Amino acid sequence: MALPYPERNELWSATTADEWKALFLKHRPHQEARTKISLAEDMRILISEGNSHKNCDAAWRNTILLHAIWRLIWGHREVEDLLQVSRPDSGESSSSLPSRGEGLAKLLNKIRLELELASTLRPADVTGDIILTQEFLNMALHAPIQSLQAFAGKDGVAAGQRVYPMLEEWTQSKSARRAVWHAGQLIRATRQASTKPIQEWRVVIVYHASLVFWAYGIISSIRQKRDAIPDSASLVKMTVCLDQEPDNTTRRFINLGEGEPCLLDLASLEASQDDFTEAQNVPLRKASSIMQTTARMLTDDTTDGHRICPPLTESFARLMNELARSAKAIGLG
């Protein structure tokens, strides 16, 4: 982590020696300052809220920083999940490590702002994969991924029962609403990505996003029925489209818990897939439909007979459809 960053991507992708020399000389005035930058130093600058190095390619630099921050987020979640599961009734676990979580959220927000600026200056540099990674990290920061997988049956019935009290508390928190919001933005970025069909690591993060929706919808619905909250209350709620541009309804949902969180079901479109105005909104409380909607994203581009669904993609789509059937079996279609 103390080694200097590699040279600019432009130099690595040069096709001829003359092209490489021209690019090298173009950036030579900044060469001395650039060679002193390392990942460790850059992380210190980011954490201290200092100014980023102007000589760096912002999109390239922030891609490296996002992957470095992932280890910090994973460690934070491991500790917080341990405290929440081991002491579910203490009332202290949900805010046990607020300073570190807030600090990581600030780091991710700073990178998001820099990427937004980079996308206006050099749109081609900010790829769909960078946006996917950014939204996944924001989601993972606020969602207990391992506990969600346990609730889905990964570790058996006993493990699912053990994490349920913690997840019920989580679904009522602002952190959960942030998680479903970023999961919705992850789905949006996936739909806009040029890589089809969805493959490799992208399949896994789409699955994780679907777990966030699925668990949030199921547990919220169970709590609503248990506490005898009338279904009519949901009819007057404003629709909050998690996979669209943020607006006042999304901010009120995240901060105050107001509104009905939904995803767009593009399968309801008969016209162009780019026309979202005719798509139906599927609320998260319909956990089965939500899971089917996200599963279709993995396989829709392989059902025309011209493409073969990759084995990993097919396996996750099958698992997601099984979870959809389990939600439908308890009346959450």
- 37-64 burial: b if 16+ Cβ within 10 Å, else e: bebeebbeebeeeeebbeebbbbbbbbe
For residues 117 and 301, the model is more confident at: 117
pTM of the model: 0.84
- The one-letter code for the residue type at 6 is P
Q: What does pLDDT average to over the chain?
A: 82
**In the structure, what pLDDT confidence band is assigned to residue 180 with cuts at 50, 70 and 90?**
very high
E strand map for 34-149: none
Mean pLDDT to the nearest integer, 184-196? 85
Q: Would you tell me how many other CB atoms lie within 10 Å of the CB of residue 214?
A: 25
CA distance 110 to 87: 33
pLDDT digits (tens, 9 = 90+) for 290-332: 999 999 988 876 555 556 788 889 999 999 999 999 999 988 8
For residues 37 and 90, the model is more confident at: 37
pLDDT digits (tens, 9 = 90+) for 273-287: 455 555 689 999 999
* Residue 257 pLDDT > 50: yes
